[in-house]
Structure 1
Amino acid sequence: MVNYRYLGNSGLKVSEITFGNWVTHASQVEDDAAVRTVHGALDAGITTFDTADTYANTAAESVLGRALEGQRRESLEIFTKVYFPTGPMGPNDTGLSRKHIMESINGSLRRLGTDYVDLYQAHRFDYETPLEETFQAFADIVRQGKALYIGVSEWTAEQLREGHALARELGVQLISNQPQYSMLHRVIEEKVVPTSAELGISQIVWSPMAQGVLSGKYLPGQPVPEGSRATDDKSGAEFIKKYLRDDILEAVQRLKPIADQAGLTMPQLAIAWVLQNENVAAALVGASRPEQLADTVKASGVKLDADTLAAIDEALGDTPNRDGDDTYSVSPKTRMI
């Protein structure tokens, strides 16, 4: 079964392996298969589910809501996000304005079939809306009982500090950040993690397997496997391209004997690695079949010793991205519409 961790400086516990439905529900797999996978996650001990209104232009939330129908709500932790364009893509169908936030939470709750979400997250930083306006809207949502806690995604250390201060002034809790993090993408380690640890903010990390590259199935000098994520534009093919260089794929292959020595599969090693970071509360994983999750959850509770961690660093060499300044380039400087 899956272990639990506290989310930030709060009393909320989440399953350290969390199910995310970014590129699967209402996109990559049929609804019936999505429902079976969510039930498989529950059977494996996962109780925390992450989605966003922008995934499949709101359809992913609806699929997750149907999949969780009939479950005891109090036994689940449901997260969603707001920022990116939704609906007919009108001028106010994006960003972190009060108008878009208040309308978006109501739509998310309706699609998810719940009265509240455990965590409501700003999907990116909005440079075009005053931060005070955004956090006042978040605080009102918490007071209305529509969200229990507030989180963000891909914010810089400075943005986290400013948001945390505003949240405290308004009497609400900013407890999480959702950045990309993996053996190959370590940009949060320089600034975001130390600042978050100081403020009592946890990381909920996405793409811990580097879009599947850390599974080892992509081989240097060979075509990508048929039916893999790299061949499917709906499944994040654009995101995986940066990892398909031969030097990176060769480095990943050097991880195989390390995983074997640890008694882990390559996916398990990748998930276990991000969970060694004490500031990480949960690793987001996706799946198109229940059996994928049955393998992944075995990474929960795994402790990698110092020799194993050192061997991983040596195998990967200088291929991981460790540039902390990259955190400043993730949020769009202007809204998409």
Structure 2
Amino acid sequence: MEFRYLGRSGLKISEITYGNWLTHGSQVENDVATECVRAALDVGITTFDTADVYANGAAESVLGEALKGERRAGLEIFTKVYWPTGPKGHNDVGLSRKHIMESIDGSLRRLQTDYVDLYQAHRYDTFTPLEETMQAFADVVRQGKALYIGVSEWTADQIRAGAQLARELGIQLISSQPQYSMLWRVIEDEVVPASRELGLSQIVWSPMAQGVLSGKYLPGQPLPEGSRAADDKGGAGAIQRFMRDDVLSAVQNLKPIADDLDLSMAQLAIAWVLQNDNVAAALVGASRPDQVRGNVKAAGVTLTADVLTRIDEALGDVVVRDPAQTAANAPKKRPA
């Protein structure tokens, strides 16, 4: 395993980070989820990312149980707050002081830990003053419940405003967690330059574009049984933007490139995001332990400039690059 510094901090994390968005507490049984976590530990992954909203807290609980007994100082545990949780009452959502202070305690209890290494704003809350949000995060840090603060799917302007307030409050905003893959490059023009300037790095989710870049979905063919695109528990909705025949055809053009490098298409996709020097880690989930063992082989892979050019040519105009997509995909009203 390779390790990278997270932002302008002294914290190192594994460049392949285990995430449990659509798996723990929902897609796979708890014993299989635990086997996946054990497999991650066995191959050298030390960083684990979750959120209170995943399976309404169940994902945190499964992860906490799976990591029980491990040396806490040898792990980096990340979680997030924003989306509706618990009984989904009128204050069980957003980035108000009330929701943040109550949510961190719930997350720590489910994760069976005294602190998280990184506490992240899962989205930007347009209904709560940013000053209130950042002050609450600062208090969480000062209480020792989180070591660092991060954000997810914030625009460059929102990151700038948050980073300035964090500095004024004496805490470190060190990370951004956006979607990023060969097919979805919307962070490159604005979020990444702002992050470099401010001392944040990216922890990217969906480096395989919800599994599309694995090559298992073929244009004009039925969906593979048990695949994410066929999942009615949330996976199908997240993957739909990539399930067009032109995209699926372009993705198949990547297979000769992966074969030439003796990589699977999934490994090529993960290695690609790690070529960006502002990316600290690629978030990778798994529904089987063998997926973990396969994905980790992308760590430390270097892709030459010629290979990167071949990838761009293979995908052509199906790549989404518009930086406005970050704001366009943000919640337009507070979720209920």
TM-score interval, normalised by the smaller of the two chains: over 0.9
Corresponding position of 1:77:
76
Give the SS at the match of 1:46.
coil
Q: CA deviation at 1:235?
A: 4.8
Corresponding position of 2:102:
103
User: Are the counterparts in 2 of residues 28 and 235 from structure 1 also a CA contact under 8 Å?
Assistant: no
Corresponding position of 2:126:
127
Structure 1's unaligned 5+ residue stretches are none
Structure 2 CA distance for aligned equivalents of residues 124 and 242 of structure 1: 20
Corresponding position of 2:114:
115
1:45 aligns with 2:31: no
Cα deviations by residue, 1:55-94 (Å, 9 ceiling, x for unpaired): 0001110000000000000000000000000011110000
Structure 1 CA distance for aligned equivalents of residues 100 and 226 of structure 2: 37
Q: 1:150-189 to 2 correspondence within 5 Å?
A: 150-189=149-188
User: Are the counterparts in 2 of residues 35 and 67 from structure 1 also a CA contact under 8 Å?
Assistant: yes
Corresponding position of 1:191:
190
Match for 2:113: what amino acid?
T
Q: Which moved more, 1:147-156 or 1:232-241?
A: 232-241
Cα deviations by residue, 1:264-313 (Å, 9 ceiling, x for unpaired): 11000000000000000000000011111111000000000011000000
Corresponding position of 2:296:
297
Corresponding position of 2:13:
14
Structure 2 CA distance for aligned equivalents of residues 277 and 211 of structure 1: 19
Match for 2:124: what amino acid?
F
Corresponding position of 1:233:
232
Structure 2 CA distance for aligned equivalents of residues 112 and 95 of structure 1: 21
Structure 1 CA distance for aligned equivalents of residues 232 and 277 of structure 2: 34
Give the SS at the match of 2:33.
helix
Q: CA deviation at 1:162?
A: 0.2
Match for 1:230: what amino acid?
A
Q: CA deviation at 1:335?
A: 0.6
Structure 2 CA distance for aligned equivalents of residues 135 and 145 of structure 1: 15
User: What is the aligned-residue identity percentage?
Assistant: 74
1:200 aligns with 2:213: no
Cα deviations by residue, 1:87-112 (Å, 9 ceiling, x for unpaired): 11110000000000000000000000
Give the SS at the match of 1:284.
strand
Structure 2 CA distance for aligned equivalents of residues 301 and 321 of structure 1: 26
Match for 1:227: what amino acid?
G
User: Are the counterparts in 2 of residues 24 and 235 from structure 1 also a CA contact under 8 Å?
Assistant: no
Q: CA deviation at 1:331?
A: 2.2
Structure 2 CA distance for aligned equivalents of residues 271 and 12 of structure 1: 22
1:248 aligns with 2:247: yes
Q: Which moved more, 1:161-170 or 1:231-240?
A: 231-240
Q: CA deviation at 1:159?
A: 0.2
Give the SS at the match of 1:281.
strand
> Scaled by the length of structure 1, what TM-score is found?
0.99
Q: Which moved more, 1:233-242 or 1:253-262?
A: 233-242
Structure 2's unaligned 5+ residue stretches are none
Structure 2 CA distance for aligned equivalents of residues 107 and 91 of structure 1: 17
Q: Which moved more, 1:307-316 or 1:258-267?
A: 258-267
Match for 1:134: what amino acid?
T
Structure 1 vs Structure 2 CA RMSD: 0.6
Q: 1:315-326 to 2 correspondence within 5 Å?
A: 315-326=314-325
Corresponding position of 1:276:
275
Give the SS at the match of 1:45.
coil
Moved over 6 A (4+): none
Match for 1:49: what amino acid?
F
Corresponding position of 2:310:
311
Give the SS at the match of 1:233.
coil
Cα deviations by residue, 1:22-64 (Å, 9 ceiling, x for unpaired): 0000000010111111000000100000000000001110000
Corresponding position of 2:26:
27
Q: CA deviation at 1:244?
A: 1.1
Q: Count how many residue pairs are aligned between Structure 1 and Structure 2.
A: 336
Q: CA deviation at 1:330?
A: 2.6
